[in-house]
């Protein structure tokens, strides 16, 4: 298993060397679509390459955010068409192939009903919810231009930036990010939620 992970890491590294920033965008898009190359591999590795001087931080962040945004948009569109009953049926039948279960769909749906657009912002950071939040945004008919893309770009930029930054800081030990990805998610999630509360509190004080 360790050899497989090492070979995958080397293959991704070689591909990033060759394709550059467009390669970052494509690999991140595949990761957000829950295809075989995970973002917790691609983004810290990209951060390591930033530290090596092969990439620059801002272009990597932009490329990865574009990739994540395009993938989220691809996930949004089927939500417009499948309907809630069919979505549940698809998850029951095929969800196990992408590690998604009916309980994840229930959790994502409750989060969306409770938090609306903010669920798209934080949903990418919640285990089990990230795979479904864009589909649910389409299902709930969230306005694509005014809200969905805004929250998606903001959320993906925060998450991607955290992983790229950690890969840059850790250097040759960037693979540690993958081992502690769940902890990193909760730290970033706490920061996002804290930022939302701070923003609401500032607006409340300004009105008072």
- Summary mean pLDDT of the chain: 81
Q: Using 50, 70 and 90 to split pLDDT, how confident is the model at 1?
A: very low
pLDDT in tens, 146-196: 788 888 888 889 889 988 988 898 888 877 777 776 677 677 767 766 766
Note the pLDDT of residue 28: 92
Instruction: Tell me the whole-structure pTM to 2 decimals.
Output: 0.79
Neighbours of 71 (CB within 10 A): 24
Residues spanned by the domain of 137: 2-207
Note the pLDDT of residue 21: 94
Rounded (5°) CA angle 34-96-4: 55
Name which residue leads in pLDDT, 80 or 204: 80
pLDDT in tens, 96-117: 666 677 787 788 788 888 877 7
Length in residues, the chain: 208
The total number of structural domains in the chain stands at 1
Q: Which residues of 117-131 are buried (b: 16+ CB within 10 A; e: fewer)?
A: bbbbbbbbbbebbbb
């Amino acid at each position: 298993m360790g050899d497989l992970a090492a070979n995958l890491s080397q293959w991704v590294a070689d591909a990033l060397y060759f394709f550059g920033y467009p390669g970052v965008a494509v690999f991140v898009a595949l990761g957000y679509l829950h295809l075989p190359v995970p973002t917790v591999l691609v983004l810290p590795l990209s951060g390591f390459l930033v530290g090596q001087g092969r990439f620059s931080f801002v272009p990597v962040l932009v490329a990865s955010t574009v990739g994540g945004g395009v993938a989220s948009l691809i996930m949004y569109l089927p939500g417009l068409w499948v309907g809630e009953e069919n979505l549940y049926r698809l998850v029951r039948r095929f969800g196990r192939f992408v590690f998604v279960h009916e309980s994840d769909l229930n959790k994502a749906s409750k989060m969306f009903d409770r938090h609306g657009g903010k669920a798209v912002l934080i949903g990418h950071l919640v285990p089990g919810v990230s795979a479904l939040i864009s589909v649910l945004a389409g299902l709930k008919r969230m306005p694509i231009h005014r809200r969905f893309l805004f929250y998606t770009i903001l959320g993906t930029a925060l998450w991607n930036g955290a992983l790229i930054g950690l890969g840059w800081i850790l250097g040759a030990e960037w693979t540690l990010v993958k081992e502690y990805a769940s902890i990193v998610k909760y730290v970033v999630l706490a920061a996002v939620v804290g930022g939302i509360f701070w923003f609401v509190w500032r607006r409340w004080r300004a009105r008072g």
